[in-house]
Amino acid sequence: MVSSEDEIEPEIQTSAAQNLDRRRFSRDIRNLSPDEIDGLITGSDGRPFHVVHHLPEMKEEGIPYLMPGVPITCRVDNTEKYTTRSKVRVGTLYTVWLTHGQFHWTVKRKYKHFQELHRDLYKHRMMVHLLPIGRYAKERQQLRGMSEEMPSLHGTERTRRTSSKMKYLEEYLNGLLENRFCKNDHSMLEFLSVSALSFVTDLGPKGLEGPIFKRSGGHRIQGLNCIGHHQFCFRWSRRWLVVKDSFLMYMNRDNDNINFVLLFDPEFKVKVGRAYTDTKYGVCIENFTRSLVIKCSSYRQAQWWSHEINRLGETSDFIKVQRFEGFAPPREKTLTKWYVNGRGYFMDLADALEQAKEEIFITDWWLSPEVFLKRPATDDYWRLDQILKRKAEQGVKVCVLLYKEVELALGINSEHSKRTLMNMHPNIKVMRHPDHVSSVVFLWAHHEKMVAIDQTVAFVGGIDLAFGRWDDSQYRLTDLGLKETNTSITEEETKEDADTQTDANQENGVADGPQQTELNSEDLTGNTKLWLGKDYSNFIRKDWVQLDKPFEDNIDRTQVPRMPWRDLSAAIHGKAARDVARHFIQRWNFTKIFKNKYKDDFYPYLLPKSHSTADTLSFTVPGSKRAKVQVLRSADRWSTGTCENSILNAYIHTIENSEHFVYIENQFFISCADGKTVHNGIGDAIVNRILRAHREQKKYRVFVVIPLLPGFEGDISAGGGNAIQAILHFTYRTICRGELSILSRLSELEDQWTEYITVCGLRTHAQLSQSLVTELIYVHSKTLIADDRCYIIGSANINDRSMLGSRDSELAVFVEDEDRIPSIMGGEEYQAGPLTLALRKECFSVLVGATSDSSINIDDPVSDDFFFSVWNAAAKLNATIYDKVFRCLPCNDVHNMRELKERTCEERLCDKNPEQTTEELRAVRGLLVHFPLRFLCEENLLPPLGTKEGMAPVGLWT
């Protein structure tokens, strides 16, 4: 066994970024402590899930597969007749029913198998007696408890009768199973079809197990198979096959290393015979990613295995196509909780990570190891990398999947994130995907954001664990250090009114002495800043650079306001959390197979827990409520090995079936299919639903909130650059420009379209270093709320990239309230869902300023009073004030580049008359401003063909 000194380099103690060219850990630490060994053995109800991650160590330590102190009993009956190869002699097949604790299973054995077992046990016993080898010492001690004479299998007059023979075999086998030496012998374990995974409680029922020969190849992933198809191109290997209630896997019996995992999915099939396998007694097991061929010892065994695998698969939810053509069904009475903004999400996530006992799964588009989850930080205890290191040292397996970006196009530096985490502890494993050249995937990304803990609690949404994402409902533009004595941020602070919010922005924006641009990350004593180093960002002004120097400021915080970040996420528990974890496991195992560098044992295969134990929750997120939850995704063969676009289907279904309103908050709004450049039909569903409401003369509202500018670096006063203009082009094409746009297709309504749909952005203001400043709030949300009864929160933008499934990979949850509470809708009594109603009110109260003005009523979202006099009135008023004071961009008054240039030369009220500016800004109500539908309407915003943006495929922008 390799000592820890042989496999770990000493940790470099320095505050500077480490040299990450070399991986610090090359293998796992496999020397288990006595306490860890005891933890793997104990448990009368089954083995702990930790066993899954310590199979080779258990083999080396000689830990028995059967649970110590738990009796194993058998019953032999149900004889079957079979014809031998000679077609003359008829043999007998016995069914052996076995019980070990809560686990029950059957095996089928011939009489010769009992004879072989007896012979092997006798031979092993003689070797232990006769060979004075040290490794037999423990077994010699066990033999002292065994009678000198082993039970005999030689028949008597009594055993010649079949019924008596079954009884005798049963007594014989039970006698062997009462002896520790016999029941833990390798021959006995094979006879009983038992392995180290047989009695792991969280893997569900014992299932089917046994030795098989498996054929190499069969992968449905381009480039993973031998070019030839002749039988000489195949390689047969002896493996131990394990079939559970939602997957099967095979392992090397010599060292108990897992060699492959096949998850049940809608393509799951079992076929028997030479026609499907090109081999005698062959069984072919298929799913989306592989056609696995195994070889059995007889025709009867092949039929038995096929029958049992199908029987286990039939009980799985995952072999059926679920609602919205998704992979997971709706899970009723699921504990769930929503989050608006990153503050509450990061806080609950930090506490949940502390509760991890077995596994932590993380996948992000971008991950910053140095991001703080609780703020303001006065030490590094709640820094993400330190949390993960702490849990890894406690034995938790941390698996992280990162999007491997095209470095010339994106500066998120996933290589830095990977090396930083993996150099902390060997229990932290990080994989990046895709390899752009080998997979021929250049345009698409892994865009989902997810954390799963012990496959019991999961977090899904739009918030990456990255710089710039932490925010609260105050949406501060400045961070020169909090002046308050008590610097902790509590739940109550997020409920402060708008006046307090402005005051806090102003106090936090006044410099108090010289400001540091480089932070001592090792000593944060007395720190009052909320965003440290690169975390203070305004990426439209300047994108992130030098992420390997995370504690150096990216912009001058004394001169440049930060750009607030609005986003949503959700926590889920139980079976829905297992669905999220299963998606991660599918992606992880797929990546391990696909990339050669991850095929070694350092990167393990992951196993999904059984849904039969999902209701046992070791902890819950505070404030969670019960609802029906379905996990949705966008997935393709390049990203996950399967095909799905259930998020798009759920969006369209929800819009089409909504009765009163839909509220959409999204980073992008690119839709209205033309079959050429845009293909998703979300905009079309909105048009059709509005037209139906108009024809039926019923009230129906559509609220759309999107960012005022796309999230690309660029100077909007000079046009914003090609990337910003390209996204604006397709956004305007969706809303109001061209014959396919929503407003053009609502032409039969004439000016009445304003009664049905409103499109807004968000903006706020503050004082920074004695100057008044404004900035848009970047809407990064991916949320839909309908009728105060259901909502979707996830990572999917409203564009083709996120929705089609064949492009970016995404994850979302569809939550439907199962309970009802009294509310009001359209002036009438209404039964709303408590979770959805609370989410909608949380969103609306901040956006329209109801937190600072109790007279603003947000109870009825579709009433004329709210829609016109509150929502649209606030958006119009605020846009007018900001235009007057700051001459903001984008705006409706600028139709072309000439007018844009002229506007940038105009003197601003905030510069020439600060007192009047302050007075004007007092009238601002909430955060809403109307989206400027006429901005640059006379310009062609598509990138010029001669530019790199113009040469990129149109799908990059849509």
Q: Which of 449, 628, 660, 729 is catalytic?
A: 449
pLDDT tens digits for 528-553? Answer: 999 999 999 998 998 988 888 999 99
pLDDT exceeds 70 at position 279: yes
Average pLDDT over every residue of 799-818? 97
How crowded is residue 152: how many other Cβ atoms within 10 Å of its Cβ?
10
CA angle (711 as vertex; 710, 713 as ends), nearest 5: 110
Which pLDDT score is estimated for 37?
80
Q: With residue 350 as reference, give the H or E element that holds it.
A: helix 342-354
Which pLDDT score is estimated for 484?
46
CA-derived radius of gyration, the chain: 32
pLDDT tens digits for 355-390? Answer: 999 999 999 999 999 999 999 999 999 999 999 999
Which pLDDT score is estimated for 499?
46
Q: Is 454 a catalytic residue?
A: yes
pLDDT tens digits for 82-141? Answer: 665 555 556 788 999 999 999 999 999 988 898 888 888 888 777 766 655 555 555 555
Nearest to 372 by CA among 543, 542, 527, 581: 527
Q: Is 53 a catalytic residue?
A: no
pLDDT exceeds 50 at position 801: yes
Which pLDDT score is estimated for 111?
86
Which pLDDT score is estimated for 512?
47
Assign 542 to helix, strand or coil: strand
CA angle (541 as vertex; 536, 543 as ends), nearest 5: 65
38-42, 256-260, 314-318 — which is least confidently predicted? 38-42
**260 vs 39, which has greater pLDDT?**
260
Q: Which of 256, 454, 464, 684 is catalytic?
A: 454
DSSP string over 447-475? --EEEEETTTEEEEES--SSTT----TT-
pLDDT tens digits for 640-666? Answer: 989 999 999 999 999 999 999 999 999
CA-to-CA dists, residue 337 to 233, 489, 632, 766, 791, angstroms: 53, 20, 17, 31, 12
Residue 871 carries which DSSP code? Answer: I
Amino acid at 268: F
Q: Which of 124, 780, 788, 808 is catalytic?
A: 780
pLDDT tens digits for 426-450? Answer: 999 999 998 866 656 678 999 999 9
- Give CA–CA dist 317/597, Å, rounded: 33
Residue 144 carries which DSSP code? Answer: T
Q: Which of 118, 374, 573, 782 is catalytic?
A: 782
pLDDT exceeds 90 at position 588: yes
Percent of the chain with pLDDT over 90: 67
Estimate the share of the chain in helix, then strand, then coil, as percent rounded to the nearest 5: 35, 20, 45
pLDDT tens digits for 232-246? Answer: 567 899 999 999 999
Q: Is 780 a catalytic residue?
A: yes
Amino acid at 617: L
> Max alpha carbon distance in the chain (Å)?
115
Q: Which of 535, 579, 636, 787 is catalytic?
A: 787
Nearest to 888 by CA among 847, 924, 941: 924
Phi-psi region of 527 (alpha: psi -120 to 50; beta: other; left: phi over 0): beta
pLDDT tens digits for 656-703? Answer: 999 999 999 999 999 999 999 999 999 999 999 999 999 999 999 999
- Give CA–CA dist 362/360, Å, rounded: 7
CA-to-CA dists, residue 891 to 384, 454, 913, angstroms: 40, 49, 22
Average pLDDT over every residue of 784-809? 97
Give yes or no for a contact between 760 and 875, defined as CB atoms under 8 angstroms apart: yes
Q: Which of 214, 418, 447, 592 is catalytic?
A: 447
pTM: 0.93
CA angle (574 as vertex; 261, 365 as ends), nearest 5: 65
164-173, 287-296, 929-938 — which is least confidently predicted? 164-173
Assign 597 to helix, strand or coil: helix
Which pLDDT score is estimated for 146?
52
Q: How many distinct helices (H) and strands (E) make up the chain?
A: 28, 31
Which pLDDT score is estimated for 230?
46
Which pLDDT score is estimated for 168?
85
Mean pLDDT of the chain: 88
Nearest to 60 by CA among 30, 27, 28, 25: 30
Q: With residue 629 as reference, give the H or E element that holds it.
A: strand 625-635
Which pLDDT score is estimated for 128?
66
